[in-house]
Structure 1
């Protein structure tokens, strides 16, 4: 953070209409030591604004695209399964490689993710 690298959640916060500590830091209104001293507030702002959730949804979208591309490969099921397992293990809290299912369809996370898909489809 000291180097002001911009991850997806940080970019989300910088694009927010609300003022927040990350905007203040990236616009040089506060320094790193002040930002670090208020790190709990930064995390709270990111949670309230939805930055972490947004990053998870974007990650899931790209996992699903990779999942679909794996299905198109001209290789055996054994290799497809290995690739899908690899995809699941990259932050895969919403992935079930054994059942070849990207989302746990009964979880609240899936309902929220489905809502995001709807929103993203609407924006296309």
Structure 2
């Protein structure tokens, strides 16, 4: 049986914007507080986080931040649970916007990648 060796990798092709890092950290800290990967967040809280008025333009901006934050990354030689993947594509989260909320599911795989595989970590 071969021993899996973790090799730290530069996984972000471009640095994230300040607002994408802010949103990522806010979601990560919410996860740490409640221990749940699934979240239901009122849009009003996101408007407040970014100090934006509640408008369609602000909503479009928040959606663009989610798009940036969920840009897929490719991890080489990734071990998750008992599986080893030569190449694995992961994203930070899945999300769905409703009328006045957003449902978010953080990726357990991404959290593992950020914790153990990324040189360019941004959540902590």
TM-score with structure 2 setting the length: 0.34
TM-score with structure 1 setting the length: 0.34
Higher RCO (C-alpha under 8 Å, 6+ residues apart): 2
Structure (1 or 2) with the larger CA radius of gyration = 1
